Each structure stands twice: as C-alpha cells, then as structure tokens.
Amino acid sequence: MNPLFEVIRDPDRCIKCRVCERQCANEVHKYDPDLDKMISDPMTCVDCQRCVCLCPTHALKIRPNENQFRENANWSHQTMDEIYKQADSGGVLLSAMGNPKDYPVYWDKILLNASQVTNPPIDPLREPMETKTFLGKKSQKITYDENGKAHYEKTPYLELDVPIMFSAMSFGSISKNAHESLARAATELGTYYNTGEGGLHEDFYKYGKNTICQVASGRFGVFKGYLDAGAAIEIKMGQGAKPGIGGHLPGMKINDEISKTRMIPKGTDAISPAPHHDIYSIEDLRQLVFSLKEATNWEKPVIVKIAAVHNVAAIASGVARSGADIIAIDGFRGGTGAAPTRIRDNVGIPIELALASVDARLRDEGIRNDVSVVVGGSCRSAADVVKAIALGADAVYIATAALLALGCHLCRSCNTGKCNWGIATQRADLVKRLNPEIGYQRLVNLVTAWDHEIKEIMGGMGINSIEALRGNRLMLRGVGLTQKELDILGIQHAGE
Amino acid sequence: MKIDARNHNYTELNKIIRESTEEKFELDHVLGERYLGAGTSGKELIIEGTPGNALGAYLNGSKIIVHGNAQDAIGDTMNDGAIIVHGNCGDTTGYAMRSGEIYVQGNAGYRVGIHMKSYEDLYPIIVIGGKVGDFLGEYQAGGIIIVFGIGAEDCPVGSFCGTGMHGGEMFIRSETAPQGLPKQVCCNEATDEEKQSIRHYAERFVKHFGGNVDELLQSKFWKLTPNSKSPYKQLYVNN
C-alpha cells in the first residue's frame, strides 16, 4: 500500500517547534534528535489539515501522493487500493462523512429567478423580510364563531426563526464540545439541534427548548425524562448515508459519559439494529408515533426521519398518514460517523429528486398540509436552501456544513475516533481542542450569514416570506437536464 | 378510582390517569385501548379485559396488573415499574426495556425481550409462565429473561432464540435444550447455584399466579448467555 498523501515540509521555513508533532493524533510527524530535524511518515496521514493550519511558519503542505499506478480508466487508483485493503484484512470497507463520488448534484443544475421591471425586487435591508417558519400539521379547517373569532385545530409545532436546523449527530459520534456548540447555537439562532440516537447529556437538558430528541431502534438513553426534555421527538427510520443499515458504536468508544448518556454499560457494544423490530407497516409506525405522543401528553410534534430511497414518495405518503407531524428526508449525500463504503457510495437517491417527488405526491394526494417536510443530505449553502424550499421543503437540516464551521476539513476519518479537530472523537486531549465558546459563535455566524443571503435571494425574486417561496417552482429553471429530470423536479428548462 | 373504559377512548383514559391525584385506578371493560399508562410513574392500574398494543410504553415506575390477555409491545422502552398479566401477551413484549419487571402467566409472542438492556442499578426482568415464539431475546444486551414453559410438551421457545444477543441471561425451563441457537449464544444446563439466582423471580411469579417455587426450580433449566468468544463484530477496515 502506498500512502495517500505526501507531507511536504519546507526546511527553510520549519523552525522545529514540534507543533505538528503535538497536534497530530495520527502520529505522522516526529522530531529526530540525531538529525536535529522534523521527519514525517505519511502512511497514517488523513489530510485533515490540522498541522498545516497550526504550523506557525506555514512550512507544511499536504498533497495527494504523486506516485500513481499505471493509468487505467476502468481500475482507478482508489478502486485498486480498496482491493488491496480487503485482500490484506478480509474486512468490510468502512468510511465516514457523505458520499464523495461524482454523482450529479442537482442543486448545481438549477438556477434561481429574479424580478426585472414588472415585479420589483425587495431590498431586505430596508423592507421587512420573513424567514421565520413553522413546522407541523397545518390545520385546513377554520370555523368562525358569532364574534368572528377563528377556530381551528391546534397541534404541536416547531417555530424556527431561520429555516435551517442542525440535523442528528449523536453524542458518541461527535464530542461533547461539538454538541454543546450546536445546542448553544440553536438556542441563540431560534432554531433546533438534534440529539441523534445517543441520548441527551445531562448538562444539555437546559437547552431542551431548542432540542429535538431522537428515538431509534436501539432506544439508547430513551426514557420519560428524555422525551419530555426536548421540543420535538424524531423517530429515526433511516439515514441517507446508510439506508437500510443500523448503527454500531464499538464498546471501546463507550466511555463513562457516553455510557451514562446512552444508559448502557461502559465498554459494551451499542448496537442499533437496521429495522425497528416492532415496525413492519405504516400501522406499526403509527403505533410508535402515537405511543410517543401519549407518553408526552400530546404536547410535542413527532418527526419521522427516512432515507431518500427509490420509493420515497410512496413511503412519505405513508408516513404522512401515520400521524407524524413532520417528515425528514435524508438524501444519499448525507454525512455519517461511520458507514460501510459500499452502502454509502451506492445506496439511496439525490435529495433534490426525492424532495420534488415527495412534495408532488403529497400535493396530489391532498395531504401536503398534514405534514411539514424537512430535507437534509447535503445542503451546502444558502442557495441550496432556497432551491430546496422552492422545490417544496419547509426547512432544511444541515450537519456537514455545521461541522465545517466547527473546524472539520472533511478528511472523512471520523470512524477512526482520532479527529484532530476535536469533533468526531471522545479522546479528552482532542475534544478540548474544540472550544464550545468559539464553536457556537462560528455556527451562529454561519447560519446568520445564510439567513442574510436567503433574504437577499428572496428579495431579488420579489418574495418576502418563506411561506411564499415554499413549493414555488416557477422560481426555478434547470440547466443541462434531461426532460425526465425536469419532469421529476417539476421545473422548466432555462429559457422556457 | 373506578373507570368504565367503555365510555372513553385511550387518550381520555390516559388523561384521567395522568391528571388525577389518585394513585390507584381500576379500569373495567377494557377492550383494545392502546398505550394505557404510557410514560407514567407512581400509579397502579388494575385492568379488567384486554388492553391494546403498547400497554405501559415508556413506563416509568407505575404498576399495571391485567386480568385478561395483553396484546403487542407491552412495556416498550420501559424504564421502571411492573406489568403483571394474568393471561397471554403478544409480540415484542418488553422491547428495549431498561428496568422493571414483566410477569406473564401464560404464553407470549415473537421477539420477547428484544433489545432489553441494563445499566448500573437498572436491571430488567421478564418472566413468562408458558411458551414464547421465535426470536426470544433478540439483541438482548442485559437483564434476565425467564421462560417456565409450564404446560409445554417440548422446549417452550421458538427458533432463532438469542439472535444478536450481546449481554444479559436467559433461563429456559425444559428437558431439552433450545434448538437452532446462533453460535454467538452459549447454552448450558443451569447449575443449582444458577437456578437459585432466579429464585427471587420464581417466588414473585408464584405469588402473582400461584404454584410451587421448589417444584419449578427442581426441573432442568438451560442458561443462555452471549458467547464472547464469537462476537458479532464484523471485521472492518478503514477506507
């Protein structure tokens, strides 16, 4: 096996301060006293850029290894490397973060509209612009009493100041400091973060008003107090990065705090089976939704999260009829702390297509207002958010973008537990590198910036609320898409 | 408080139970009402009839006694308390329960005790008097499951018992060992000492439903535990 990367050190710049050595949990850098110089072994380098960023003299760079196998259009370097790894180990390939393969990104093939002449744009700095949105069932029946007062069915809902939430990442997959950053940012932004399936750390119950508590097949950390703590409950049926696959947090990662939060013994494996073994039908799902509502006195909206798979529209239609208030759909580019490579890279469908077909299906069936639709699985910018809402989403979930704000450089090695940025690790010396005080502020900055951009884009379209943008596919045009793709997206081609 | 369930749906029944300052409730004519007692603590429900699915889900310390049969998913994700069924019960009894006790006089369905787990002083117990269906103790991660098989002619557990088991113990009262166990489960005849370890639960069973503890424990029991030599760990290679 060849190293994937080369460590390039400029000897004229290196002052042998050994920062790189101390910062690298993969032990790439070492000081050699005999030679009086820094040496490196690139074999374990994951290109996380920690040493590059912290080198005080900018002496380091990491680049792809120039050594290449003989060129072959069919057998890429990576494909060959994977064969060697499996031949060496007999193991299933394990990867982290979202699908990096070169599949179409439909966000990048959709263009937005703007007003000219007849329908003037709105200046968001000068005129009111609403990015507040509400998630939950929207009652369709309004009656008026003799005093003209409106009466309608009130069901629990979530109120978001921005149409962006932080999606599920468990304590275990990410660090306590990362969770704290998300919780505090959600609180300040008037939105929500999601516990993932690892329970809620006792220190974070105070952020409950801005917390979505997840319930998955393993039921880790789920008890009455946990269900009561959050603003909403999310049932995890699937995850975009690994549809049809469960979770497995190895025992060695279950330290004291994770054990306490998940309510499982230290050092034992935490297995989250792929299916909920009590759910084989929409009726069974309905039973879980209703049991959670009963247990929490019908005070909390219930979200059902599914992965975007081939039959997502029919599945979403079933979910909408299960009594769920919100459907979360996770596209095939969604991140993960660990997933079998073959699953991550080959299972599921793009969120753009899934969203368009779910929205169309729910409208066709006259049940679109029975549920809100939240999408995740690679919303990378404010433009993606606007496109998602115009395709029919009520709000989006972001996670990879949030981790990038916390310092992640997408080295995709979360599964090793040696995250040099203190995010996807439980090692105390690494966790403390992420200061939640700074982390939360960076998340607030990111979402605030996106919120400004969303307002700017909406203003350009002459639209002043999320409500008016949602499902407004006339604001979208495709470029370089086939008629079939345009039909599924429900949009016209640019120029039409 | 006495409640005639015929006059209420399950949401109303639960609301009465939750909001009343009284602790003891006698529910008569129960017929399929779901989620009874869900998430409650400090209450006692005495149910006449057949409660519906998810009886005592997320139960947090209440006691539920059923004079009749119960249906599926009783004690789902139960955290504490007791459910005592003077009859049979359905599938996924005690799904992911973390503590408390479930006693069933008769038979139980498939996937009993699936994913039940223990944590510190939280330790769940399921005792079934009769037979159980397939996948008993699937993914079991902690606690004890006891099947007495009273009245059963052969081994009282179905196929695929203990699939995915990685913690806890099962005790099966039977002349013959359960068949077709996965290789990640160890099955041995329980020693006298091991049988005494479940005496306390046998006594409680007898207290609820009658019978003789010594007679029960005199029989042959099979003790099932996870085989740590052959874990479920699939070998992964970082990519």
A22/chain B closest Cα distance in angstroms: 23
Domains, in order of start, for chain B: 2-226 (2.160.20.60)
Q: Which of residues 392-451 of A touch B (CB under 8 A)?
A: 413, 415-416
Helix, coil or strand: residue A268:
coil
Of A271, A278, A295, the CB nearest to B95: A278
Work out whether the CA dihedral A267, A271, A272, A278 comes out positive or negative. Answer: negative
Whether A214 and A196 have beta carbons less than 8 Å apart is answered as: yes
Tell me the torsion sign for CA atoms A330, A484, A463, A124: positive
- pTM for this predicted structure: 0.95
Domain borders along chain A are 5-91, 133-493
> Is the per-residue pLDDT at B228 higher than 80?
no
Note whether A5-91 and A133-493 share their fold.
no
Per-residue pLDDT of A418-475, as tens digits, reads 999 999 999 999 999 999 999 999 999 999 999 999 999 999 999 999 999 999 999 9
Confidence grade of residue B232 (pLDDT, cut at 50, 70, 90):
low
Residues in B touching A227 (Cβ below 8 Å): 39, 58
Coil, helix or strand at residue A444: helix
Parallel, antiparallel or unpaired: strands B167-173 and B141-147? parallel
CATH of A5-91, one of 3.40.50.1820, 2.60.40.1840, 3.30.70.20, 3.40.50.1100: 3.30.70.20
Query: DSSP 3-state assignment of A182?
Result: helix
Q: Output the CA torsion sign for B64, B65, B67, B68.
A: positive
Location of structure tokens 């105070």: A206
Inter-chain CB proximity B118 and A95 less than 8 Å: no
**pLDDT score recorded for residue B80:** 96
Measured CA to CA, the distance from residue A40 to residue A28 in angstroms comes to 5
Closest Cβ–Cβ partner in B72, B115, B138 for A218: B115
Q: What local confidence, expressed as pLDDT, does residue B234 receive? A: 66
pLDDT of residue B230: 59
Q: Mind telling me how many Å the CA of B114 is from chain A's nearest CA?
A: 8
* A218 touches B at CB < 8 Å: yes
User: Could you tell me which of B153, B154, B166, B148 has the C-alpha nearest to residue B213?
Assistant: B148
Q: Which residue of A250, A268, A291 is in closest CB contact with B57?
A: A291
Q: A133-493 belongs to which homologous superfamily? A: Aldolase class I (3.20.20.70)
Torsion sign, CA atoms B159, B79, B38, A233: negative
Q: What is the mean pLDDT of residues A338-359?
A: 96
pLDDT tens digits, B48-83: 999 999 999 999 999 999 999 999 999 999 999 999
Q: How sure is the predictor about B233, in pLDDT bands with cuts at 50, 70 and 90?
A: low
What average pLDDT does range A250-277 have in this prediction?
85
- Which residues in chain A have their CB less than 8 angstroms from residue B232's CB? 269, 271
Write the pLDDT tens digit of every residue in A5-24: 999 999 999 999 999 999 99
Instruction: State the pLDDT at residue A277.
Output: 84
Chain B residues inside the 8 Å CB shell of A415:
236, 238
Which chain B residue has the Cα nearest residue A87? B237
Q: What is the dihedral of CA A422, A424, A428, A434, to 10 degrees?
A: 20
Q: What is the pLDDT of residues A371-419, one digit of tens each?
A: 999 999 999 999 999 999 999 999 999 999 999 999 999 999 999 999 9
Structure confidence at residue A139 (pLDDT): 85
Angstrom CA distances, A271 to A168, A198, A416, B224, stand at: 17, 11, 18, 19
SS (H, E, C) B53-108: CCCCCCCEEEEEEEECCCCCCCCCCCCEEEEEECCCCCCCCCCCCCCCEEEECCCC
Do B18 and A290 lie within an 8 Å CB cutoff?
no
Residue that the structure tokens 């944590």 belong to: B119
Average pLDDT, chain A: 95
Q: How far is A224 from chain B (nearest CA, A)?
A: 6
Distance CA B73, CA A403 (A): 38
Query: Does residue B191 carry a pLDDT above 80?
Result: yes
pLDDT of residue B128: 98
Which residue from A218, A227, A277 is facing B92, i.e. has the nearest CB?
Answer: A277
pLDDT of B229 above 80: no
φ, ψ of residue A218 to 5 degrees: the values are -80, -15
Residues of A in contact with B38 (CB under 8 A): 291, 294-295
pLDDT-derived band at A141, boundaries 50, 70, 90 = confident
pLDDT of residue A140: 82
